[in-house]
Structure 1
Amino acid sequence: MLSYQHIYHAGNLADVQKHALLCFMLDYMAQKDKPISYIETHSGRALYHLDAAEAVKTGEAEKGIAALAKAFPKDHPYIRHLATVRELHGKTAYPGSPLLAALCLRDGDALHLAELHPQEHAALTDVMGRWGANIHKRDGYEFAIAATPPTPRRGFMLIDPSYEVKADYDAIPKHIAAVARKWNVGTIALWYPLLANAAHIGMLAELSERFPDALRHEVRFPPVREGHKMIGSGMFVINPPYGTADEAKRLSRLFA
């Protein structure tokens, strides 16, 4: 299935959690004088405009980044990079994780992005080609295996599927275990929705059993509209950089 397009949800509360943690972790890793490989399995289009008809239709950004931006310290890497994107692309621009990652990385770091959806892949190529990204039109889970271990070996992988294929919940722990076997030093981060029907519970139980030392961070929020099934957002991080647990606690307070 290839129906999902993130423009309807860009800048929502789940994005705020995911992107704030992502920027913190990459910013910390980039402070060390060692190169980084960044790998993303389900990249989307990398740049969104919150005045687009699709975003306006759902109004999710109004309750997300528009409501919480001022709650962050001005020097937080997420807020700094959001400001940079808006200087480049206009005040309604919102960066997806590939663009945020590019802004966190340095010359000499490697950027590998996969996206299978034809329209999203075309938009991703248009935005991220100028950043020197290696862009692949490929199934994200297959790419995760093919791309690891990367060069440089030190690095970060974001797995952020749409979950429109319900079998993902059963398959993801096995995919991540396979990646971790090949790349035991990598930081591997999975974003997942918290759903009213508890579809995520089994997946998280298996992941926690396989990776007992991983960081699990979840925030909860009301459904954005009547009948909406997502009631929160989570990140499961294997080999989290130093300080990520404390940053997660600070972030939780913004959602309280």
Structure 2
Amino acid sequence: MLSYQHIYHAGNLADVHKHGLLAWMLDYLTAKDKPLTYMETHGGRALYDLADAAARKTGEAAQGIDRARGWFGAEHPYPRVLDAVRADHGPSAYPGSPLIAARLLRPSDQIHLAELHPAEHAALDLAMSPYPAKCHLRDGIETAFALVPPTPRRGLMLIDPSYEIKSDYETLPRTIQRLARAWNVGIIVLWYPILTTKAHQPMLAALAQAHPQALRHEVRFPPARPGHGMVGSGLFVINPPYGLEGEARRLASHFANLG
């Protein structure tokens, strides 16, 4: 059974990058009065307590959302969701991507979330119980193939693996190419870490060759602690929404000023 649990990293700078742009995309999509489908292959537990000992152990949230909260204006959907979640769950609560999506989507939209880890799935199911979301205790990629093309066809899929299985770097380009063929109108978003080992680079080369019109956006930041191998965060977005590139540049300017 996979051992990765995101509580150790919740609210870190990679989350700020990923969740800030995800919230912007969902806010953009819901501006149009047409229903959509949101899918996520690695849901995690959806709601995190940054005061938890596991979160404090790494200190990543202190370097992440605690530091970056001011990068987003009051009108931005990311801090709007953060404030709403903290109003409901306390000042140390942090929403994962499933809860960000649930807070921004509408009753007419469909939400499908996959999580294979039994304890994480149970927490996900509990956190999402107030919302009309389907939580699948199943491999996320298998779930994605079972659902595409979804109904409604308009929508977004977030693929956010832990990369605990190192073969993910090799298999994801083929997987995403198949998903994009099956769901050619879908926005498919892959998150990946920027690593000192450069393990991500062959995967990105294969993705760029197969999807030359996709948006690739990366930010860099100092390692969370001495010897930590992740030094940045990346998103590869197929069928990027209009305006996403500009929002990504705006966010990147804040990362560029990190000491």
Give your verdict on TM over 0.5: yes
Q: Distance in 1 between matches of 2:135 and 2:107?
A: 17
Deviations 1:36-77 (A, max 9, x none): 100000000000000000000000000000001012111110
Matched residue SS, 1:130? coil
- Tell me, yes or no, if structure 1 residue 2 matches structure 2 residue 2: yes
- Tell me, yes or no, if structure 1 residue 216 matches structure 2 residue 216: yes
User: Contact 2:71/2:251 (CA < 8 Å) preserved in 1?
Assistant: no
One-letter code of the match for 2:7? Answer: I
Matched residue SS, 2:130? helix
Matched residue SS, 1:131? coil
Matched residue SS, 2:162? coil
Q: Distance in 2 between matches of 1:66 and 1:87?
A: 16
Q: Distance in 2 between matches of 1:76 and 1:38?
A: 20
- Tell me, yes or no, if structure 1 residue 48 matches structure 2 residue 67: no
Counterpart residue number, 1:177: 177
Matched residue SS, 2:149? coil
Counterpart residue number, 2:136: 136
Q: Distance in 1 between matches of 2:237 and 2:121?
A: 26
One-letter code of the match for 2:155? Answer: G
Counterpart residue number, 1:195: 195
Deviations 1:179-217 (A, max 9, x none): 111100000000000000000000000000000000000
Moved over 2 A (4+): none
Matched residue SS, 1:194? strand
Q: Distance in 1 between matches of 2:105 and 2:216?
A: 24
- Tell me, yes or no, if structure 1 residue 252 matches structure 2 residue 249: no
Counterpart residue number, 1:186: 186
Count how many residue pairs are aligned between Structure 1 and Structure 2: 256
Counterpart residue number, 1:240: 240
Matched residue SS, 2:156? strand
One-letter code of the match for 1:64? Answer: G
User: Where do 1:73-112 residues align within 5 Å?
Assistant: 73-112=73-112
Matched residue SS, 1:170? helix
Q: Distance in 1 between matches of 2:22 and 2:201?
A: 23
Deviations 1:108-155 (A, max 9, x none): 000000000011000000011221111101111111111100001101
Show structure 1 runs of 5+ residues with no match: none
Counterpart residue number, 1:15: 15
Q: Distance in 1 between matches of 2:27 and 2:13?
A: 21
Matched residue SS, 1:242? coil
Q: Distance in 2 between matches of 1:132 and 1:29?
A: 18
User: Where do 1:111-150 residues align within 5 Å?
Assistant: 111-150=111-150
Taking structure 2 as the reference length, what is the TM-score of the superposition?
0.98
Give the superposition deviation at 1:104. Answer: 1.1
Q: Distance in 2 between matches of 1:68 and 1:90?
A: 19
One-letter code of the match for 2:198? Answer: A
Give the superposition deviation at 1:254. Answer: 1.0
Q: Distance in 2 between matches of 1:105 and 1:18?
A: 17
